[in-house]
Structure 1
Amino acid sequence: MSSSTTADAPLAETDIARLREDFPILHTQVNGHPLVYLDSGATSQRPFAVLDAEREFAATLNAAVHRGAHTLAAEATEVFEDARSTLARFIGAGDDEIVWTSNATEAINLVAYAFSNATVGRGGPAAERFRLGQGDEIVTTEMEHHANLIPWQELAARTGATLRVIPLDDDGALRLDENRITARTKILAVTHVSNVLGVINPVDQLVAAARDVGALVLLDACQSAPHLPLDVRALDVDFAVLSGHKMLGPTGIGALYGRRELLEAMPPFLTGGSMITTVTTTQAEYLPPPQRFEAGTQRVSQAVALAAAIDYLSEVGMPRIAAHEAALGQRLVDGLTAIDGVRVLGVGIDLPRVGLASFDIPGIHSHDVGQFLDDRGIAVRVGHHCAQPLHRRLGVTASTRASTYLYSTEAEVDAFLDGVAATIDFFGVRS
């Protein structure tokens, strides 16, 4: 890393300039303009340290892990497991509480299918708490990414359980006064940070309500792990999921955190090689977690690269990143709110936020907004952001989202705001 930052000092403009030198893509041009990348909420960019780590593994250590007895396989296994330890430390977990997945979506499905498999009798007595049937309830929220909604819809359909949803108010905040968590609740699945609104949800209140009735809690940390200090034990959640490509890492790698005692009781999701101890033609016995949930050839180079990304983030300092993005998020919200004709989603929610804001311009489709900005080299996300229920509740079909990261600058936010104002002038829809 070319930055010489310290752990507790704010990220100054000179620090960010040094960090940006580590990201080759930030020096490209789009449509004749310097790239202004404000789509990190979808996929973040990668520094040289991450790119080099994956290439170095492929060039010098590439081998199957947990399978070969030769030197290269042993060394590959060691760096693979070192990567698991790096992630575990980053989120305050134990090494054997981290399961590698392809992404957060797979991680959520892993948990949901473990409930299904327990329901049909797999897992034995230890899996009793995962069994669902008629009268049992699954609770999620109206603001979830589809990845934390559809697996639970399908689980309810497979088991006969009921899916209940914590509603939103007119601003988009969770209606915690309309309690959906009851004595029938078996699991609560909730996002830590909304991928549309950018608000940090009151996880402590939600976890407390779940604990009162003995329900398990799964936290979608896709939009928090890259941007905030994350301690799964302090949050007291049972499961948490994240995706590498949102936190400077490559695509194709994600992770599930699960409390050790829960993973030990859960029946597997995917089955096959590398997750078994003994196999006959009629039955199999499974390894303890996390290997029990890691069937088949693993994402080794991706895990190594994700560990390099975590090292990079840790060296910069997650508190510093969080403070930098909070300031940029407020700059986004204040700037958008000041533009006549713009409606910022979630602006009335009195909660801290990350560096993300979504907005609607009545009379201009979000795709047209995105295209106009792209002509200026400004990359944003348009559409429903895999959160149709949230958009429907707020009375819009789509929105435009700008999301920042540690390499984003105030000048880029200001260029974006100028672009939004110019969009309105171009389409002539000012009120």
Structure 2
Amino acid sequence: MHPNEMQKSVSVQVDSDFALLLPSGAYEIKKMEPRSKLRKVILFCLLLSLFGMVAFGYFCPDQVCALSARDRATEPFALSYAEAPGRPLPDIIVQPGLSYDEVLHDDFRFDLDAHDVMVFLHIQKTGGTSFGKHLVMDLDLKRPCNCQRARKRCHCFRPHSNEIWLFSRYSTGWKCGLHADFTELTACVGGELDRHEGSAVHRRYFYITLLREPVSRYLSEFKHVKRGATWKGSRHWCQGRTASALEVPPCYTGESWRGVTLEEFAACPWNLANNRQTRMLADLALVGCYNGTLRHRTADSDRVMLASAKRNLAAMSYFGLTEYQKISQYVFEETFNLRFAVPFTQHNATVSGATRAALSPLQVARVKRLNSLDLELYEFAKNLMFKRFEALKKRDSDFEYRWRHLGEVSRTGVTEFDWDSNLEDATTEKYRVTGKAQSMELFT
């Protein structure tokens, strides 16, 4: 038999049962139907996928569809954020909680009975120690924080539960690292609170911070380091890892830099005191973490870091300025609808002020050069602060009375500001790591 005839015979034999049931010509159509149906299924799936992508791109929220960290690095002035604020996301940048504009809505209130959390980003030598004490000791609350003087720690619980509403040094300790910066906090806060409270809760985060005039802040840090402070316990965490010793090398040998002169302090090119406020408020992932902020700085990385710090500061629920205590207090109280039981005190004479008065013009100029980013950030912050103050003032029908009676709440006890005190700050002696028990003290 011819091969073609054999093949035809086999085909007919296989489908003979079906062919007998079909009219003439329908047999060939029947053989084509499975392939035709397959094409239709594939075409339908492709159309469904295309529709899904279009719909997802149109309706997808910014928090989910934001640019990748790499994309953001190439578009520094379109600094998008990703995922939920405050969640543990070490490899991407996250939104710093509710913005100031969102807080100003007419129906807004900081809800102590719900899951609102205030997160204090404490930058060294900005008055944060005293402000932190105000937060735990002097707010007029239904359930005031319960402070334990021996441990220098307060339990700041909600009125009807033992959930925490304040994430700060004096309420939770340095849970995210000693003087954790924006990059560390936003990747850490949610996870730490989940572990502390034993469950994952959908929270609203309100980031707050203080800034200080850069030259005064730098000189205050210099004096503090001269007395023995090191902040060795700082993790410098970024994109899932701690900065290496090559990325953040020490400026001194031995246990501390005690007795350092201003010339030696300013001569170290990777001194973390330089532009500290800008660095601590920026998304460091945008500039390669500490590798791009200390050892391999460029004009472009500085520009990106400063733009990021400005944006993050403007987006925070609140920031205060150390040089404007009364305005800072008023803005805080009106923003959160909370009242302090004491007036903030303005100290015009400080240790750093006396140090600055003794400097030569050349020394002051050098300090300004080393902190050029901080100086620009501070001017931006000052302008923004006064705009917010004026806006709150205009909508406050009782402003004159409120302004005259700030802090006049019937409570006993006063927490006084002392900008340059080192009694309760992190010094070499307190945070020297000589054993496991001492190293764990930073996170308890």
TM value normalised by structure 1 = 0.25
TM value normalised by structure 2 = 0.25
| Bigger RCO of structures 1 and 2 (CA < 8 A, at least 6 apart) | 1
Structure index of larger Rg: 2
